[in-house]
Amino acid sequence: MTKPMPPSKPETPAPPARIDLANVSELIARMRGGERRAISAVITELERLSAAAPALLQALQPHLGHALVAGFTGPPGAGKSTLVNAVIENLRKQGRTVGVIAVDPSSPISGGAILGDRIRMTAALDDDGVFVRSLASRGYLGGLSPAAVRIIDAMDGAGFDIVLLETVGTGQNEIDVAEVADIRVVISAPGLGDDIQAMKSGLLEIADIMVVNKGDRPGAEQTMQQLLGALSIRATISDKVPVLKTSALNGDGIAELVKALDDIGRRVSQEPAVSRRRRRARYLIARAASDLVAARIKSGGKSSLDTLADGVLSGTMTPDQAAKKVLEG
């Protein structure tokens, strides 16, 4: 059942802008004034990487670097959306503004967001201090669209204090969000079976904050203890990872979670905004380069590759050694 990776898209010229290119600075001013239609228009142009994108991004430059980007990831059933909503509510009560990028791992075949009609975050929709944009994930087993990085810039440039990047913890999504966010929040919950522990052990390496949501349920304390035990293994690492128990439904622990975000946010802010942005862009480039190399190996000169493959199969070389030969050409 060999199903090849979808081929990388052919290069296409930038799609035409839907905004008036002569009025970019006016549009940015309206967006910074909080006009929702202007925010939406800028995000859409950047998402499409239209012909207006370079001018918009240039006009945004002086306004970038204020927002913190917090990634929320975790397995299905951890109550991620409800938790994110509770965090938004807490931030809004403090008068802080929030941009939300909700990543829908949609089918690359359908092209659209299967979850488009879910009725979450309806409360937020009436609030000018919150702006939500759904974003389809791309291609093979998900993966964050490069557009996310530009939408982060748009929300940052619009003046939002914090951008929440919410994604289902699966496949490439999880890896990408870990790389793109300034702060990584990993969410779990009791009652998801012993796999949850396995899952967390991989995520332990990258979490800045661990949350046990549904903390009012039986087994929450046990899940906390397992996590703390697993974290003690990385005791040699200097930065201590907070493990917080929350209940998004009754609000327990939400204030503590926001405080933990702020504590880490203060450290993050010491890194210049340009270097945080360049880190995101370098990751996108690295990811694209990896995809290109993988595609070349899958499609490329079969006979020499078969020789290397046979070497790996016969134990005379490791995949790393074969890969080096491929890259050397």
Is 134 near a second copy (CB under 8 A)? no
Count interface residues toward a second copy (CB under 8 A).
Answer: 114
Is 171 near a second copy (CB under 8 A)? yes
Residue 88 CA to residue 35 CA, distance in Å, equals: 20
Is 269 near a second copy (CB under 8 A)? no
CB of 246 to a second copy, least distance (A): 16
Is 313 near a second copy (CB under 8 A)? yes
Is 151 near a second copy (CB under 8 A)? no
Member of 26, 128, 267, 304 binding a second copy (CB under 8 A): 267
Is 108 near a second copy (CB under 8 A)? yes
Is 304 near a second copy (CB under 8 A)? no
Member of 106, 223, 246, 247 binding a second copy (CB under 8 A): 106
Which stretch, 36-44, 87-95, 250-258, 290-298, contacts a second copy (CB under 8 A)? 290-298
Query: Which residue bears the tokens 């006016």?
Result: 26
For residue 6, report the phi and psi dihedrals to the nearest 5 degrees.
-60, 140
CB of 115 to a second copy, least distance (A): 6
CB of 79 to a second copy, least distance (A): 7
Q: Beta strands 243-245 and 209-212: pairing type?
A: parallel
Is 56 near a second copy (CB under 8 A)? yes
Member of 148, 168, 211, 248 binding a second copy (CB under 8 A): 168
Is 183 near a second copy (CB under 8 A)? yes
Residue 212: beta bridge partners? 188, 245
Member of 182, 220, 227, 244 binding a second copy (CB under 8 A): 182
Residues 6+ apart with CB under 8 A from 183: 68, 69, 70, 71, 208, 209, 261, 264, 265, 268
Single-letter amino acid, residue 248: A
The smaller minimum CB distance to a second copy, of residues 106 and 247, is found at 106
Member of 17, 63, 132, 230 binding a second copy (CB under 8 A): 230
Q: Can you state the percent helix, strand and coil of the chain, rounding each to 5?
A: 50, 15, 40
Single-letter amino acid, residue 300: G
Residue 169 CA to residue 312 CA, distance in Å, equals: 32
Query: Which residue bears the tokens 């020789």?
Result: 307
Is 193 near a second copy (CB under 8 A)? yes
> What phi-psi label fits residue 214: left (phi over 0), alpha (psi between -120 and 50 degrees) or beta?
left
Is 175 near a second copy (CB under 8 A)? yes
The smaller minimum CB distance to a second copy, of residues 125 and 236, is found at 236
Is 178 near a second copy (CB under 8 A)? yes
Pick the closest to residue 87 from 266, 211, 224, 269 (CA basis): 211
CB of 83 to a second copy, least distance (A): 12
**C-alpha distance across the termini of the chain, in Å:** 30
Residue 140 CA to residue 22 CA, distance in Å, equals: 38
For residues 169 and 86, the answer to whether their CB atoms sit within 8 Å is no
Which stretch, 16-24, 49-57, 216-224, 247-255, contacts a second copy (CB under 8 A)? 49-57
The smaller minimum CB distance to a second copy, of residues 128 and 288, is found at 288
The smaller minimum CB distance to a second copy, of residues 93 and 318, is found at 318
For residues 130 and 195, the answer to whether their CB atoms sit within 8 Å is no
